[in-house]
Structure 1
Amino acid sequence: MSVIQKLKKSSLPKRIFRIAFRLIGLLPRKKRTVFFESFHARQYSDSPRAIYEYMLEHHPEYELVWSIDKRAEQLFKTHGVPYVKRFTPRWFIEFPRAKYWVNNVRLPGWMPKPPGTIYVQTWHGTPLKKLGLDIEMVHMPGTDTDRYRKNFLSESSKWDFLVSPNPYSTKIFKRAFGYKGNVIESGYPRNDLLTNFTESEVRTVRETLGIPEGKKVMLYAPTWRDHEFYEKGKYKFEFQFDLEQWREQFSEEWVLLTRMHYLIAENFDFSGYDGAVIDVSGYPDIRDLYIVSDMLITDYSSVFFDFSVLNRPIVFYMYDLDQYRDQLRGFYFPIENEAPGPIVRTEEELFDVIRNAGQLQPENSEVYRKFRQTFTSLEDGHATERVVGTFLGK
Structure 2
Amino acid sequence: MNKLITDIKYWLQALMIPLYWFSFLTPRNKSIWLLGSSFGKSFSGNPKYLFLYLNQYQKDNVRAIWISRDKKIVDFLNNKGYEAYDAKSFYGIFYCLRAKVYIFDNYSKDISFWLSGGAKKINLWHGVGLKKINYDNIFDTVRHPKNKWERFKTYLRRMSDEKPNHYILATSKMMADIFASAFQTTDKQILTCGYPRNDIMFESDFKNIYNDTEEIALQYMKEQRKEGKYNVLYMPTFRPTEQEFFSIMDLNAFNNYLCDNNIVFYTKLHPKSKLKTQFGELQYSNIYDISADVDVYGLFHEVDVLVSDYSSVFFDYLMCDRPIILFPYDYSTFLKNTREFYFDYEEYTPGKKVYTMEELMKEILDARVVDKNIEKRHILRNKMFKHIDDRSSKRVYEQVARIVKLSKISSK
Q: 1:221 aligns to what?
A: 235
Q: 2:302 aligns to what?
A: 292
Q: 160, 184, 190: which one pairs with 2:197?
A: 190
Q: 1:354 aligns to what?
A: 364
Greater mean deviation of Cα atoms: 53-62 or 293-302: 53-62
- Secondary structure of the equivalent of 2:307? strand
Within the alignment, does 1:312 sit opposite 2:312 as a pair?
Answer: no
Distance change (3 Å), C-alpha of 1:79 and 1:279: farther
Q: 2:32 aligns to what?
A: 33
- Secondary structure of the equivalent of 1:335? coil
Q: 171, 193, 196: which one pairs with 1:165?
A: 171
Name the CA distance, whole Å, in 2 between partners of 1:79 and 1:215. Answer: 32
Distance change (3 Å), C-alpha of 1:188 and 1:11: closer
Cα offsets for 1:209-266 (capped at 9, x unmatched): 57422222111111111x46xxxxxx97854423332221013511122111111243
Higher helix share: 2
Distance change (3 Å), C-alpha of 1:337 and 1:157: closer
Distance change (3 Å), C-alpha of 1:107 and 1:161: closer
- Secondary structure of the equivalent of 2:190? strand
Cα offsets for 1:295-330 (capped at 9, x unmatched): 000011100001011110001110111232344112
Does the 8 Å contact 1:133/1:152 carry over to 2? no
Within the alignment, does 1:368 sit opposite 2:374 as a pair?
Answer: no
Name the CA distance, whole Å, in 2 between partners of 1:75 and 1:256. Answer: 29
For 2:256, the aligned partner's letter is E
Name the CA distance, whole Å, in 2 between partners of 1:113 and 1:360. Answer: 54
Distance change (3 Å), C-alpha of 1:312 and 1:10: closer
Q: 1:231 aligns to what?
A: none
TM-score scaled to structure 1, two decimals? Answer: 0.84
TM-score scaled to structure 2, two decimals? Answer: 0.81
Q: 2:139 aligns to what?
A: 137
For 1:176, the aligned partner's letter is A
Does the 8 Å contact 2:49/2:393 carry over to 1? yes
1:61-140 aligned within 5 A: 61=60, 62-70=62-70, 72-73=72-73, 75-76=76-77, 79-108=80-109, 111-112=113-114, 114-138=116-140
Does the 8 Å contact 1:47/1:104 carry over to 2? yes
Per-residue deviation, 1:77 = 5.1
Per-residue deviation, 1:31 = 2.8
Cα offsets for 1:75-128 (capped at 9, x unmatched): 545644322223345433321321111101124499357443111110111121
Within the alignment, does 1:384 sit opposite 2:384 as a pair?
Answer: no
Q: 1:332 aligns to what?
A: 342
Greater mean deviation of Cα atoms: 255-264 or 19-28: 19-28
Any unmatched runs of 5+ in structure 2?
A: 209-214, 403-408
Name the CA distance, whole Å, in 1 between partners of 2:222 and 2:374. Answer: 33
- Secondary structure of the equivalent of 1:192? helix
Distance change (3 Å), C-alpha of 1:13 and 1:37: same
Within the alignment, does 1:273 sit opposite 2:284 as a pair?
Answer: yes
Distance change (3 Å), C-alpha of 1:209 and 1:40: farther
Name the CA distance, whole Å, in 2 between partners of 1:261 and 1:71. Answer: 22
Q: Sequence identity, in percent?
A: 23
Per-residue deviation, 1:18 = 3.5
Per-residue deviation, 1:271 = 5.9
For 1:163, the aligned partner's letter is L
Does the 8 Å contact 1:237/1:264 carry over to 2? no
For 1:254, the aligned partner's letter is I
Q: 321, 324, 338: which one pairs with 2:331?
A: 321
- Secondary structure of the equivalent of 1:99? strand
Does the 8 Å contact 1:219/1:256 carry over to 2? yes
Name the CA distance, whole Å, in 2 between partners of 1:346 and 1:196. Answer: 36
Q: 1:52 aligns to what?
A: 51
Name the CA distance, whole Å, in 1 between partners of 2:58 and 2:267. Answer: 36
- Secondary structure of the equivalent of 2:255? helix
Cα offsets for 1:112-163 (capped at 9, x unmatched): 574431111101111211111122224x8xx684269975686332654211
Distance change (3 Å), C-alpha of 1:334 and 1:269: same
Per-residue deviation, 1:47 = 1.2
Number of residue equivalences: 378
Does the 8 Å contact 2:19/2:114 carry over to 1? no
Name the CA distance, whole Å, in 1 between partners of 2:243 and 2:80. Answer: 30
- Secondary structure of the equivalent of 2:202? helix
Distance change (3 Å), C-alpha of 1:144 and 1:71: farther
Cα offsets for 1:351-375 (capped at 9, x unmatched): 221232235515x643223112212
Query: Where in structure 1 do 4 or more consecutive aligned residues deviate above 6 Å?
Result: none
Any unmatched runs of 5+ in structure 1?
A: 229-234
Per-residue deviation, 1:30 = 2.9
Per-residue deviation, 1:14 = 1.2
Does the 8 Å contact 1:192/1:379 carry over to 2? no
Greater mean deviation of Cα atoms: 53-62 or 100-109: 100-109
